[in-house]
Amino acid sequence: MDFILNFWVELGAWFGGLLSSWGLPPWAVDLIADFLGVLILVVCGVMAVLIFTPMERKVIARMQDRPGPNRVWPYGLLQAIADAIKMLTKEDIIPTNADRALHMLAPLIVAIPALLLFAVLPWGPGLIGANLNVGILFIVAVGTIHVLAVLVAGWGSNNKFSLLSAFRVVNQLLAYEIPMVLCILTVVLFTGTMKTQGIVEAQTVPYFIVMPVAALIFLISALAEANRSPVDLLEADSEIVAGYMVEYSGMKFAMFFIAEYVNMFATGIIFATLFLGGWKFFGLEDVAPVLTPVIVFLKATFVIFLMLWFRATYPRMRFDHLVGFAWKFLVPLALVNLFLGAAVVKITANVWGQAVLMLVGNIVLAAAALFIVNRAARKLKDAPALKRIVAVER
């Protein structure tokens, strides 16, 4: 890994010296370097689309016992390229009564923050764009811009279905951001740092084992934040005809499409960083440190596979049930888990002691949550109004 880091550092220094030798001022050299950095991020986003679009279609097709894309050689793996060609050749249409400025601005607002997340995502010891002291806070802050982008797209399109989606975004995304942040705070309590690399280095045991409740809440909230089925009610085609994207076509639609898959990839890396030990894998990172980016990529791919599994398994939820599940169940559960984590950290400073106590507390907390949910379901089943509805249906 030191060789790789030195290679990239020396390559950057050589390129900067080459630009300076051409007579360019320092500000111009920095500007070109920043432009190349942005270009690399864009390429990473495009690669995420090229990889995970065929993966999603093939995985879901396999689970639903159908072939999936199989015409674009080989085995349909180039389907994403065919989709890109189709979107590039489609006509760009702007509704007559739409707010032209907002309609054009929304695709940029949704795509750029998705790429900015990669600046603080760790790929190995020292392999990070910017190891900020508040890296996790940066992720939360940039991630919330997606809410603004969807709201702008829904409002600026001047379409009743888009407007309904804009109303939903404030309700759904903000509701699920709260339990997500509470789970992140639990991890920050245990590690004592907001640096993404520091969080990975502090995980002697992956936090998915230590605090499974927080990991599960984070994964469910991430599904809602990424607008993935079964919680994709911002663009529910069976209800609001693609929602906030209904008036977009061509490359503007492709920007939303790219942002969705880039967000999925970033979410997978964030989950791997917080709960799966990042680049750590049973000491392999010490034996072969050059494989640390591969380890992070494979863990992120596993998280994305779970998202696809959920999409192929569960039907879309009703909107009031979805939001009620966040406010009435996930938020209280995440709060209790946060208080439990604070108590464990206060009781002992030993890493293994904290891990054991937190795991036991999570088991008790999960059992209590299941008991409460089961009791509430029984009360609902025995409700007189529900019995009358069942009698009428029969």
* Whether residues 187 and 269 fall in one domain: yes
Of 231-240, 248-257, 305-314, the range with the highest mean pLDDT is: 305-314
For residue 152 the two structure tokens come to 């702008």
Q: Per DSSP, what are the bridge partners of residue 312?
A: none
* Whether residues 82 and 100 fall in one domain: no
Q: Give the three-class secondary structure for 122.
A: coil
What domain count does the chain have? Answer: 2
Confidence check: pLDDT of 289 > 60: yes
Which among 89, 108, 139 is the end of a domain? 89
The pTM (predicted TM-score) of the whole model is 0.83
Q: What's the rounded Cα separation, in Å, for the pair 65 and 201?
A: 42
Question: Which pLDDT score, from 0 to 100, does residue 158 have?
Answer: 78
Q: What's the rounded Cα separation, in Å, for the pair 109 and 155?
A: 14
Tell me the DSSP string of 141-208. Answer: HHHTHHHHHHHHHHHHTT-HHHHHHHHHHHHHHHHHHHHHHHHHHHHHHHH----HHHHHHH-SS-HH
Confidence check: pLDDT of 384 > 70: no
Residue 14: how many CB atoms within 10 A of its CB? 10
* Whether residues 263 and 211 fall in one domain: yes
* Whether residues 177 and 58 fall in one domain: no
Question: Which pLDDT score, from 0 to 100, does residue 3 have?
Answer: 44
Query: Of the ranges 34-48, 182-196, 212-226, 356-370, which one carries the lowest mean pLDDT score?
Result: 34-48
Tell me the DSSP string of 218-250. Answer: HHHHHHHHTT-TTS-GGG-TTTSTTGGGTT--H
Tell me the per-residue pLDDT of 206-244, one tens digit each, with 9 for 90 and over: 899 989 999 999 998 888 877 777 777 677 666 777 777
Which among 89, 105, 132 is the end of a domain? 89
Confidence check: pLDDT of 391 > 60: no
Q: What's the rounded Cα separation, in Å, for the pair 49 and 254?
A: 10
> In this structure, is the dihedral angle defined by the CA atoms of residues 279, 282, 283 and 288, taken in order, positive or negative?
negative
* Whether residues 85 and 97 fall in one domain: no
DSSP state of 233: G
* Whether residues 122 and 257 fall in one domain: yes
Q: What percent of the chain has pLDDT over 70?
A: 89
Q: Per DSSP, what are the bridge partners of residue 127?
A: 124
Q: Give the three-class secondary structure for 229.
A: coil
Local confidence band at 1 (pLDDT 50, 70, 90 cut-offs): very low
Confidence check: pLDDT of 264 > 80: yes
* Whether residues 307 and 379 fall in one domain: yes
Confidence check: pLDDT of 32 > 70: yes
* Nearest of 25, 72, 80 to residue 56 by alpha carbon: 80
Confidence check: pLDDT of 348 > 80: yes
**Which residue, chain included where needed, has tokens 């910017």?**
130
Question: Which pLDDT score, from 0 to 100, does residue 321 have?
Answer: 80
**Contacts for 1 with CB less than 8 Å, ≥ 6 apart:** 124, 125, 126, 127, 289, 290, 292
* Whether residues 23 and 151 fall in one domain: no
Question: Which pLDDT score, from 0 to 100, does residue 392 have?
Answer: 46
Question: Which pLDDT score, from 0 to 100, does residue 317 have?
Answer: 77
Task: List b or e across 25-39, with b for residues whose CB sees 16 or more CB atoms inside 10 angstroms.
Answer: eeeebeeeeeeeeee
**Nearest-5° angle of CA 379, CA 382, CA 387?**
140
Tell me the per-residue pLDDT of 132-181, one tens digit each, with 9 for 90 and over: 888 888 888 887 787 777 788 878 777 777 777 777 777 787 888 889 99
**Which residue, chain included where needed, has tokens 């984590």?**
341
Q: What's the rounded Cα separation, in Å, for the pair 94 and 265?
A: 30
What range does the domain containing 64 cover?
A: 1-89
* Whether residues 296 and 147 fall in one domain: yes
DSSP state of 244: G
* Whether residues 30 and 131 fall in one domain: no
Question: Which pLDDT score, from 0 to 100, does residue 338 have?
Answer: 92
* Whether residues 56 and 99 fall in one domain: no
Task: Categorise residue 280: left if φ over 0, alpha if ψ from -120 to 50, beta otherwise.
Answer: beta
* Whether residues 55 and 14 fall in one domain: yes
* Nearest of 328, 326, 384, 342 to residue 211 by alpha carbon: 342
Which among 66, 89, 112 is the end of a domain? 89
Confidence check: pLDDT of 117 > 80: yes
Question: Which pLDDT score, from 0 to 100, does residue 218 have?
Answer: 92
Tell me the per-residue pLDDT of 60-71, one tens digit each, with 9 for 90 and over: 888 888 887 888
Question: Which pLDDT score, from 0 to 100, does residue 184 have?
Answer: 92
